[in-house]
Amino acid sequence: MIPLLAYRDDTCDPRKCSVKKLARAGMVRIVPKIRAIPRGTILLDPTAEQALSPADRPARSITVLDCSWEVLDTSAIRSLRRRRALPFLLAANPVNFGKPFKLSSLEAFAAALYILGEREQAEKILSIYTWGCRFLEVNREPLERYAEAKDSTGVVAIQGEYLDDHSGQVRDNHKD
């Protein structure tokens, strides 16, 4: 089992926050400051230049940034070494269902775990919401393919196929 961590800045609605629910269930540890994020962690960062891949195994931990990107000090996270972006996936959460790259923190954790070969842990954390299993249903094929890739280059190549298939949807999504 890979330890899960989250930096939260308390900008989201705590009643709808998947990280807070995971923390209450004992599945995630919340870190209060960016400086408290452990150095060896894989930091899920959509601005990272490298995609998460099976080559990132073994992982000491996975950390998400559960915060408002408008106010995040990105210079503070750029010093962390293992920053990885998740590849193309569709959200299954009720707020952004079907939108590419609009994953909740819960979905980001589950995707990372799945790609790193921790499928049971991914299913377990998704089970805290009734809609959680839909994430794996909607993304089963790309997740399987990403999990079989050799490295980040392979993940990006596979992602390219999905981006081609969903180019109109991705373009429309970035207008939000």
The CA distance from 111 to 131, in Å, is 15
The CA distance from 8 to 34, in Å, is 9
Q: Check pLDDT > 60 for residue 22.
A: yes
The CA distance from 124 to 45, in Å, is 23
Q: Which residues pair with 29 in a beta bridge?
A: 5
The CA distance from 29 to 6, in Å, is 6
| Predicted pLDDT at 67 | 67
Average pLDDT, the chain: 86
Q: Check pLDDT > 70 for residue 170.
A: no
Q: Which residues pair with 8 in a beta bridge?
A: 66
| Predicted pLDDT at 77 | 64
| Predicted pLDDT at 61 | 96
- pTM, two decimal places: 0.88
The more confident residue out of 34 and 147 is: 147
CA 93 to the chain's CA centroid:
13
| Predicted pLDDT at 81 | 74
DSSP-derived secondary structure letter, 6: E
Q: Check pLDDT > 70 for residue 13.
A: no
Average confidence (pLDDT) over 3-20: 80
pLDDT digits (tens, 9 = 90+) for 39-98: 889 999 888 889 999 999 988 999 998 865 555 555 556 666 789 999 999 999 988 888
C-alpha torsion sign, points 90, 3, 31, 151: negative
Q: 3-state DSSP call for residue 131? A: coil
